[in-house]
Structure 1
Amino acid sequence: MIKLYKNGAWLTEGQEPVSDETGLEQKFHLSKQEAKKNTIAYSILKNHNTSENMDFLKLKFDKLTSHDITFVGIIQTARASGLERFPVPYVLTNCHNSLCAVGGTINEDDHVFGLSCAKKYGGVYVPPHQAVIHQYAREMLAESGKMILGSDSHTRYGALGTMAMGEGGPELVKQLLGKTYDIPYPDVVGVYLTGEPAFGVGPQDIALAIIGAVFSSGYVKNKVMEFVGPGVGKLSVDYRIGIDVMTTETTCLSSIWQTDSKVKEFYEIHGRAQDYKELQPKTTAYYDGMVYVNLSEIRPMIAMPFHPANTYTIEELNKNLMDILDEVEKKAKVSLGENVSYTLKDKVRNGKLYVEQGIIAGCAGGGFENICDAADILKGKSIGADEFSLSIYPASTPIYMELAKNGVLADLMQTGAIVKTAFCGPCFGAGDTPANNALSIRHSTRNFPNREGSKLQEGQISSVALMDTRSIAATAANKGCLTAATEYEGTYRKPTYFFDGSIYENRVFDSKGVAEPDVEIQFGPNIKDWPKMPKLPENLLLQVTAEIHDPVTTTDELIPSGETSSFRSNPIRLAEFALSRKAPDYVGLAKDIQKGETAREQGEIPEEKVSGLCQMKEQIQAEFAAMSWENTGIGSTIFAEKPGDGSAREQAASCQKVLGGWANIAREYATKRYRSNLINWGMLPFLFTEEQLPFAKGDYLYIPNIQEAVKEGKSELTAYVVKDGLSPFTLRLGEMTQDERTILLQGCLINYYKLSI
């Protein structure tokens, strides 16, 4: 079904890939280094690199996009750093805080803020319920051969020939200030598609199969996935988009696909024929790895709780139901601990698994083709009058309009399904939260714990399994009994899609790049500026305020998603939620030690504010006589095995900083995004790779000469556990650019940019 090449791979026009081995360079009359330049990715990266060095890229993007739980913080940061106008098209969508019910007026206040900023700085503003961020980008922004940076992790438009990346807000701030996105040239992994999907197999099935094959090994981590091969031409563009958006869950950096007449037609349908360009690898190209996918062999898939990589075929699950449910419960204990009683075995009736909810939504599931196929499976049936419910969210108003015109909307509603407006809520826990202990099947992007809206800390837990729209519809037709779409024996009508651009023309504010400096920005009472961030001192004394040993810690666990989204414009208030799902005492502990730093900065005596600091100081000075509160910062750090999987949200790092955090310590970082967010908020991304931890929660760590180590680009340094004397251990910082080191020294990106104002 899926094969991962152990070595790199050569791809020649019209041929299947060949695993790299000695002598192939002579055979192809081409060195690997030259053949690497023949990928689609190389040509796009080269065209956007502003430096002379292709080994280390300084990229400028063509367009930017954000939604309403990220754009306030981004613009506030950019304003504090000297923003005068948006230098490239910047689209502000409103698809996350669309439900203006939580916290009074604060969600709509953010929308008004966004509209006023689009006017003042020359941007584009998409009102709530018009489109989810990524569908609007597909319909209106993507261009073959171009690059887009978005402050959402699922910024992926590779199927349209656009190399797009999802990053934390500070990386967009850099672009808004005319700076660059700086990365080493990434490895490019080919994804060779051959065959053709079986009837009933949808894009989410292909995506989950790929995620299941590559995630655990990190095969494509921080790399570019380049989709090639004859199988690409067998897929519609909607189908390709459905696979492409899920590449985020592999932890790759970005994606790009070869383009063809079907992509050209997509652009023509959307009135943008001029934005199409044929993209193909050159005659002979070399890839740093290869994922070989036989589309014909993939069957309907399900990703069981609590990760998109926890994959099985639906057939396999039904055949080995109780054994797999045992495995799910064992894995769940790692994430949930003993806080709640968790089982899915109560969903089994007469040997069949029943679910309580189905959701087809957002940038992954809300496409036109997905919804039309679901309607065909459900036509003339009923989802029933019992526990099971089905909600469908078209990804944009133009899609919704076409479903209404061609009768699909009526077909769906007649079954008992509810069709709602464009909204990302079900994907991050702000819409269609299931009942406690319920199981929801969703064609959305993630199924992390609590991401569907339950609150573990309050004893609530429901769970999500990811599936393709077609199998969700087949399950709905069987009133919640888990069913693969391959059991559907009807046909798919495949109606033609007609895009009505007047919907956006009538409602979306587009400045056409013209800024109006005299426009006054509208601030709601919840929109607050970032607090002052101190510079990195000579030395650090850090208390370990959280210790997490889960194999992977998601950004949802570092800062919860759904219930916090309305507070993303208020750094102080949002920080109260930090690590609340993994370490409920973290905020209190971090605040306690932060009192010492506040006192230090104000010229007061820290040990009068924090008990135990006096003893720590005495022990350190016994070996480091020059240590004083004038040269030593006080704060907190956390340890996690592998933090940062999932969302691009910068708040996973910034909340720790607001609470006085100076560092994370990890075995490795799950994504580049999270490590970048740490650095941009002045948080040291320490690595500790030895098996035995030398410290525990509550311990103090002394890190001497940290300012010097960062300034000189040292990759390793000696730290000390302060407990009955000083016990040394080694921390690593890894490779950093000069700009990253300067950001850390200045304390955060805002301080860094203030230097140049």
Structure 2
Amino acid sequence: MINLYGEGAYLLNGNDLTFNDKESDECIKTKLGEKYLDKEEAKKNTIAYGILQDHNKSGNPDKLQLKFDALTSHDITFVGIVQTARASGLEKFPIPYVLTNCHNSLCAVGGTINEDDHLFGLSAAKKYGGIFVPPHIAVIHQYMREMMAGCGKMILGSDSHTRYGALGTMAIGEGGGELVKQLLSNTYDVDYPEVVGVYLTGTPNPGIGPQDVALSIIGAVFKSGFVKNRVMEFVGPGIKNLSVEYRTGIDVMTTETTCLTSIWCTDDKVKDYLEVHQRGNDYSELNPSEVAYYDKMITVDLSKVQSMIALPFHPSNVYTINELNANMMDILDKVEKEGQKLFKGTDLKFSLKDKVINGRLFSEQGSIAGCAGGNYENICAAANILDGKSIGNAEFTLSVYPSSMPVYQSLVDNGIASKLIPTGTVLKTAFCGPCFGGGDTPANNSLSIRHTTRNFPNREGSKPGDGQIASVALMDARSIAATAVNKGLITAATELEGINPEIPKYYFNKTIYDNRVLQSYNKGNDDTELRFGPNIADWPKMEPLTDNMLLQVASVLLDPVTTTDELIPSGDTSSYRSNPHKLASFTLSRKDPNYVGRSKEIQAAEIKRLEGSIPEEDNAALKEAYEKLTAKFSNFDKKNTLIGSMIYANKPGDGSAREQAASCQKVLGGFANIAKEYATKRYRSNLINWGILPLLMDGEPEFKCGDFIYLTDVVNSIRERKPEIKGYILGNEMKEISLSVGQLTDNEIEILLSGCLINFNKNKMKK
């Protein structure tokens, strides 16, 4: 079904593959004959190479400095981005910037604070010249597909699932700091990435949907990091057998592979899609040149993909539903044991085996929603399965969220809504809540099946600190509908017979957007006052790094991977995103509830140092650290040694692009992370943009929570790109520790040393 080739491959005429894994260079030369190109030359013939170089402003094809065609954010991120840009000297939005309101749309937490943020975004769009999409009108990525994506474009979004490759757009999800750079007419700097071909053949069988294909790919590549920080380029004869919405359903899930971005060949189906959305001029045919070389290759036979399920607690924890049913108790026992490790040290008991009824796994809740599940064809396919049936009147419930109001209207006009509603399915408005814990939180000890993007621990909204636990399994809308027919017993859509495959023609009504979406690009009004609410606060002052730093370990996270949702929980806590101090109080609250208290204690000492008083007063651990350093270093000067906190995690940053995973640490006085590796580029970029050292180390940590780590010659080491930053662990005895920051661009160096992106931009303005 899926094969991985790590040594790369040539692609001829978009169809014929020649693998390095199987053949020597001489054989390849003979096989290709006069068409043979050196690998380095053939690498320039990918779709990705052309688009990236078209947007590269550096003049160096290997060191990219990208400027994007458009930006997009939602209501968890745009307030912080505008506030950061505003503090850095923002005058107007220089390119189209779409502000959507699809995450905290319900305005259900904290009184007025969510709607306050929405109106702040509206006022910012009016003032600086933006595009504002009100709540319930469209989820962020559906609006961008319908109205902004186009062939050969690049779009940057402050949401990790910013992916429009199936429409010929290379889109990247990053933390807010990277959007701020674009708003200030700066660049997105990255080394030219490797390009991984994804060669599709065959046609999916009836009942197999895009989530089945996506989960199969994620399961094959995630754990090995096969596509990490690389571009996935979809090619091959199988593409023509997929509708555009089917392609976008696969494409949006490429985020879960940890790739940097994605791109697809385009054809007449893409042209038709853009024309339906009244944007035919945004079409151009995209294909690799006659001879293209890919650094790695993935082959996918679509005809062999089966109905899939990603069991808790990661999209890569995949099984075929047939495999699950055949080996039910063994698989669930394995998942339970792995899952329980995440709740070690608590009284919570994660269980799935108790949900087995007559040999089938039972789910209490289903949801088809958001940028992955809520598109028109997915909902039509689910409706065809459910038509004339009932989801029952017991525990199982099913909610369907069309991804935009134009999609909703077409479902109504074509009679699809009338198929769904009598079954007991609840049809709701465009909303991302089921994906991140902002809505449809299941009952305690329940299992929810979802065609959404993620199933990380507690991302569905449960609060382990309150004794709550629930879990999510990811499935395609078709199998969720089949499960609903069986009243919650997990069922593959391929088990059902006689499914109607017909999808009624989609009609797009742009009037909905014309009447409600503010189109103010290039029409900003300086006289417009930003509308603030009581929860919208400015960023606190942040200090630059110093040569000598004394950092207390405030948390040690030994899980194989730490997600951004664990670093800063999503769900209702995200409603406080516009108040840096309030949001920071939730940092690591579901993973290490004592982290905030530890960080604040050491931050209080740093405040005293800056005031010129006695930092170690009322802090016995700091006093002991000072004594050790004074004994070891004759020139140690506590007055000139920055005091802060840090965390250790084996591999932090998988998942969301939300910069708050880093900014909350900085607000609490955090100045470093130490890791074996960083799960994503975007999390590492977030650390840098908030002046937090993204330190790397080999081996297991020899320090524990509460220990101090003393770093010396920090500024000089970073500025001169030294391979090592010298450090000392102040445990029972002082031990040297070898740390590095990896590769940094010139701007990243200055951002780190300035203390954060805001300081960096202010310093530039003074020059």
Question: What is the TM-score normalised by the length of structure 2?
Answer: 0.98
User: 1:448-501: per-residue Cα shift (whole Å, max 9, x none)?
Assistant: 011111111111011000000000000001111111111222222210000000
* Partner of residue 4, structure 2: 4
Aligned pairs, number:
756
Q: For the residues of structure 2 that align with 1:555 and 1:725, how far apart are their CA atoms?
A: 33
Q: What secondary structure, in the 3-state scheme, does the structure 1 residue paired with 2:94 have?
A: coil
1:350 corresponds, among 348, 358, 375, to: 358
Report deviation, 1:705.
1.0
The one-letter code of the counterpart of 1:298 is V
- Structure 2 residue aligned with 1:22: 25
1:142 maps onto 2:145 in alignment: no
Specify the SS of the correspondent of 1:401: helix
Instruction: Summarize the alignment of residues 586-625 of structure 1 with structure 2, pairs less than 5 Å apart.
Output: 586-625=595-634
Please state how far the C-alpha of 1:623 moved relative to its aligned partner.
2.5
Deviation at 1:614, TM superposition (A): 2.2
Contact kept in structure 2, 1:90 and 1:124, CA below 8 Å: yes
Q: Match of 2:545?
A: 536
- Give the drift of 1:726: 2.2
Shift of 1:646: 0.2
- Post-superposition offset of 1:592: 0.5
1:102 aligns with 2:109: yes
Deviation at 1:693, TM superposition (A): 1.9
In structure 1, the residue matched to 2:269 is 262
Gaps of 5+ in 2: none
Q: Which moved more, 1:7-16 or 1:282-291?
A: 7-16
Q: Quote the Cα distance in structure 1 between the aligned partners of 2:520 and 2:701.
A: 54
1:273 and 2:286 are equivalent in the alignment: no
Name the CA distance, whole Å, in 1 between partners of 2:340 and 2:562: 14
Partner-residue secondary structure (3-state), 2:255: helix
Scaled by the length of structure 1, the TM-score of the pair is 0.99
Task: Measure the CA separation in 2 of the matches of 1:754 and 1:156.
Answer: 32
Instruction: Please report how far the alpha carbon of residue 611 of structure 1 lies from its aligned counterpart in structure 2 after TM superposition.
Output: 2.2
Give the residue type in structure 2 aligned to 1:384.
G
Instruction: Encode CA deviations 1:692-722: one digit per residue, 9 max, x unaligned.
Output: 3221111111111111111211121221011
CA distance, structure 2, for counterparts of residue 105 and residue 447 of structure 1: 29
Distance 2:381 2:223 in 1: 32
SS in 1 for 2:45: coil
Cα displacement string for residues 27-46 of structure 1 (whole angstroms, at most 9, x for unaligned residues): 44311111000000000000
Q: Does 1:689 align with 2:698?
A: yes
Deviation at 1:725, TM superposition (A): 4.4
Report what 1:417 is aligned to. Answer: 425
Q: Is the 8 A contact 2:14 2:289 kept in 1?
A: no
Please list, as runs of the form range in 1=range in 2, the aligned pairs for 1:71-220 lying within 5 A after superposition.
71-220=78-227
Matched, 1:580 2:589: yes
**Aligned residues of 1:682 and 1:749 also touching (Cα < 8 A):** yes
- Counterpart code for 2:308: M
Q: 1:81 to 1:298 in 2, by over 3 A?
A: same
In 2, are the aligned partners of 1:620 and 1:725 still within 8 Å (CA)? no
Q: How far apart are 1:612 and its partner, in Å? A: 2.4
SS of residue in 1 equivalent to 2:288: coil
Distance in 2 separating the partners of 1:185 and 1:493: 43
Corresponding residue number in structure 1 for 2:384: 376
2:713–2:726: 8 Å Cα contact kept in structure 1?
no
Q: Select the residue among 295, 310, 314 that pairs with 2:302.
A: 295
Equivalent pair of 1:595/1:609 in contact (CA under 8 Å): no
- Pairing 1:292-691 to 2, within 5 Å after superposition: 292-339=299-346, 340-489=348-497, 490-690=499-699
Could you say what secondary structure the match of 2:309 adopts? strand
Distance 1:47 1:341, change over 3 A: same
Which is worse superposed, 724-733 or 493-502? 724-733
Contact 1:668 1:687 (C-alpha < 8 Å) held by counterparts: yes
Q: 1:601-657: per-residue Cα shift (whole Å, max 9, x none)?
A: 111110114222222112112222222123210011110000000000000001000
Give me the whole-angstrom Cα distance separating, in 2, the residues matched to 1:370 and 1:657: 41
For the 8 Å contact 2:6–2:295, the answer to whether it is kept is: no
In the TM superposition, what whole-angstrom CA distance separates every residue of 1:500-539 from its partner, at most 9, and x where no partner exists? 0000000001114211000000000100000000110110
Letter aligned with residue 313 of structure 2:
F
Q: Within 1, Cα distance between the matches of 2:292 and 2:341?
A: 42
Give the secondary-structure state (helix, strand or coil) at the position aligned to 1:727.
strand
- d(CA) in 1 for partners of 2:391 and 2:731? 62
- SS class of match (1:200): coil
Per the alignment, residue 729 of structure 1 pairs with: 737
Q: Which residue of 2 aligns with 1:740?
A: 748
For residue 276 of structure 1, report the CA deviation from its aligned partner.
0.5
Report 1:23-42 matches (<5 A).
23=26, 24-25=28-29, 27=32, 28-42=35-49
CA distance in 1, matches of 2:447, 2:731: 47
Separation in 2 of the partners of 1:724 and 1:246? 47
Shifted more, 706-715 versus 152-161: the winner is: 706-715
Q: Is the 8 A contact 2:703 2:731 kept in 1?
A: no
Q: CA deviation at 1:352?
A: 1.4
Tell me, yes or no, if the aligned pair for 1:714 and 1:733 is still in contact at 8 Å: no
Q: Is the 8 A contact 2:125 2:132 kept in 1?
A: yes
Alpha-carbon contact 1:263-1:276 (below 8 Å) kept: yes
Deviations 1:212-261 (Å, cap 9, x if unpaired)?
A: 00000000000000000000000000000000000000000000000000
| Cross-structure match for 1:52 | 59
Question: Does the CA contact (< 8 Å) of 1:124 and 1:511 recur in 2?
Answer: yes
2:16 is paired with a residue of what secondary structure? coil
Equivalent position amino acid for 1:54 in 2: P
User: Does 2:718 correspond to 1:715?
Assistant: no
Q: How far apart are 1:738 and its partner, in Å?
A: 1.1
Q: Report the Cα offset of residue 333 of structure 1.
A: 1.5
With 594-603 and 299-308 compared, the bigger mean Cα shift is at: 594-603
The ranges of structure 1 where at least 4 consecutive aligned residues each deviate by more than 6 angstroms after the TM superposition are: none
CA distance in 2, matches of 1:119, 1:626: 55
CA contact (8 A) 1:300 1:471 kept: yes
User: Which segment is superposed worse, 164-173 or 617-626?
Assistant: 617-626
Q: 2:638 aligns to what SS in structure 1? A: coil
The one-letter amino acid paired with 1:372 is C
Structure 1 spans left out of the alignment, 5+ residues: none
RMSD: 0.9
Structure 1 residues 386 and 597 mapped into 2: Cα distance closer, same or farther (>3 Å)? same
CA contact 1:534–1:746 (8 Å) conserved in 2: yes
Match for residue 246 of structure 2? 239
* CA deviation profile, 1:37-56 (whole Å, cap 9, x unmatched): 00000000000000110111
Deviations 1:309-354 (CA, angstroms, capped at 9, x unpaired): 0000000000000000001101102222242011111111111111
Q: Look up the SS of the partner of 2:237 in the other structure.
A: coil
- Pick closer, same or farther for the CA change 1:384–1:639 going to 2, 3 Å: same
Distance 1:550 1:725 in 2: 27
Alpha-carbon shift at residue 25 of structure 1 (Å): 4.9
Contact kept in structure 2, 1:620 and 1:726, CA below 8 Å: no
Cα distance in 1 for residues equivalent to 2:4 and 2:255:
18
> Residue type of the partner of 2:175?
G
SS of residue matched to 1:57: strand
State how far apart, in whole Å, the 2-side matches of 1:618 and 1:156 are.
53
Whole-angstrom distance in 1 between the partners of 2:324 and 2:454: 19
Rounded Cα–Cα distance in structure 2 between residues aligned with 1:345 and 1:116 = 51
Residue 196 of structure 2 aligns to which amino acid in structure 1?
A: V
What is the alpha-carbon distance in structure 2 between the residues aligned to residue 629 and residue 527 of structure 1? 36
Contact 1:144 1:162 in 2 (8 A): yes
Bigger mean CA deviation after superposition, 679-688 or 607-616: 607-616
Question: What amino acid maps onto 1:672 in structure 2?
Answer: K
